[in-house]
Amino acid sequence: MQRLTIKDISKIADVSMMTVSRVINNEKHVKKETREKVLGIIKKYGYEPNFFAQNIKSRKTNTIGLIIGDIENPYYSRLSKGVINVAEINNYNVIVCNSNYSPKLGEKYLNMLIKKGVDGILIATIDVSNEAINTLNKRNIPFVLVTRKSEEENGNYFITDDYLGGKLASEYLLRLGHKKIFFLRSADVLGANERLRAFKDSMNENKIPFDNSFISKILTNAEDAYAAVAEFIEQGKHKEFTAIIGGNDFLAMGAMDAIIDKGLNIPKDLSLIGYDNLWITKILKVPLTTIRQSKMKFGYMATERLLEMIKNPEMKKYPQKIVLKPELVIRNSCRNLN
């Protein structure tokens, strides 16, 4: 059966399209008998209003967009859950887009969300161009950045102090007597780069010689990390290095599987530390020492801020730039060499 339109309902009910629209939107100034007649026809024919057309008058779709780095990474599933929970409480829908850490793909989704008329956008991790940010500003579309900074004076962002987190991880291993530490580098984004910078600074400050052989190529998922660490072991580097830092827990989990599959022991043969404190890290084969950062809390806070700006555009004049402090979580994956 062809989808019924407001025009069809108005003909069947013998009323104007404006009257049908008022009934659908539960507006006043419609006679009781007319309202009941229209609602009866809607029920009989199973009419469902076009969501976006229904909201043209108010220019609101009660929908927000969320662009994330990698949907396979459990960090983003927790972040997304926080976003969706707050959105649902406020009767908003969420369109989730997976960028695979690609700025080009991220901007493609950004343009798609703009065309769909979303009320606001959350951009998590990926770097988008100044041109894309300018487009959002010109169209007065509220947006909040998550796990990346905004250079704009009125920009809103929620990040972890990833440099501090990187320091906590690196210096913990150094205090345990580790000097040959292999760093598994994650995506080329702000947070990951800050963790790497902290690692380099810690090594330099402690006058420990190192070079690029201490740092992996960019790895984006657990499979990449597994392959990199398996090759690392096959080349005998585990006899030279004593510890591995995963740029995030996802990479550390891949590394752990490779180490165990190659017949080595954690932490006897290799110490391992991650970053994120994903829930699963405490129940792995070897409970993982890691860095705790908020995930769902990021989702909650960023979404609440976005909805504030949607409901009251004046709030854009008072930007929030929130930096949360990470914490070291010590478990069983690191050995004391002292």
Per-residue pLDDT tens digits for 37-49: 988 888 888 776 6
pLDDT of 55: 56
**Tokens read off for 300:** 């909650």
Question: CA 224 → CA 46, 235, 289, distances in Å?
Answer: 50, 17, 21
Q: Is the pLDDT confidence value at 34 over 60? A: yes
> Residue 130's pLDDT band (boundaries 50, 70, 90)?
confident
Q: Are 288 and 331 in contact (CB under 8 A)?
A: yes
- 268 found inside a domain: yes
**Binning pLDDT at 50, 70 and 90, where does residue 305 land?**
very high
| Average pLDDT of the chain to the nearest whole number | 90
Tokens of 9: 């309902």
Task: Please indicate, yes or no, if residue 234 is contained in any of the structural domains.
Answer: yes
CA distance 65 to 97: 8
Confidence (pTM): 0.80
3-7, 64-68, 194-198, 290-294: which range is least confident on average?
A: 3-7
- Residue pair 157/321 in contact (Cβ under 8 Å)? The answer is yes
Least confident of 50-59, 95-104, 276-285, 319-328: 50-59
Range of the domain at 44: 6-49
d(CA 231, CA 239): 13
Whether residue 178 sits in one domain with residue 117: no
Whether residues 288 and 310 fall in one domain: no
Dihedral sign, Cα of residue 43, residue 47, residue 50, residue 54: negative
Q: What does the pLDDT average to over 329-338?
A: 97
Residues 120, 212, single domain; the answer is no
What's the average model confidence in pLDDT over 151-170? Answer: 90
Q: What is the per-residue pLDDT for 54? A: 55
Same domain, 100 and 187: no
Confirm if 112 and 63 have CB atoms less than 8 A apart. Answer: no
- In a domain, residue 337? The reply is no
Residue 138, pLDDT above cutoff 90: no
Same domain membership, residue 134 and residue 19: no
How many whole angstroms separate alpha carbon 146 and alpha carbon 155?
11
CATH number for the domain harbouring residue 29: 1.10.260.40
Q: What is the mean pLDDT of residues 207-224?
A: 94
Establish if 54 belongs to a structural domain. Answer: no
- C-alpha to C-alpha distance for 133 and 209, rounded to whole angstroms: 41
Q: Is residue 331 part of a domain?
A: no
- pLDDT of residue 24 exceeding 90, the answer is no
134 and 80 within one domain: yes
Place of tokens 């043209």: 56
Indicate whether 338 belongs to any domain: no
Do residues 134 and 81 share a domain? yes
- Taking a C-beta distance cutoff of 8 angstroms, is the pair 266, 289 a contact? no
Tokens 């850490």 belong to residue:
101
117-129 pLDDT tens trace: 899 999 997 777 7
Tell me the pairing of strands 290-292 and 243-246: unpaired
Do 248 and 179 share a structural domain? yes
pLDDT at 260 over 70: yes
Domain CATH code at residue 100: 3.40.50.2300
If one compares 133 and 54, the residue with the highest pLDDT of the two is: 133
Of 54-68, 98-112, 154-168, 256-270, which gets the smallest average pLDDT? 54-68
Under 8 Å between Cβ of 174 and 333: no
138 and 216 assigned to the same domain: no
**Domain assignment present for 1:** no
Q: Domain check: are 39 and 153 in the same one?
A: no
CA distance 306 to 83: 10
How many domains, the chain?
A: 3
Residue 333 lies in a domain: no
Please report the pLDDT score of residue 1 as a whole number.
44
75 lies in the same domain as 168? no
Does the pLDDT value for residue 140 go beyond 50? yes
Q: What is the mean pLDDT of residues 26-42?
A: 86
How do residues 307-329 score in pLDDT, each as one tens digit?
Answer: 999 999 888 888 999 999 999 99
Alpha carbons 156 and 62: distance in angstroms, whole number: 20
Same domain? 179 vs 288: yes
Looking at residues 138-167, what average pLDDT do you find? 88
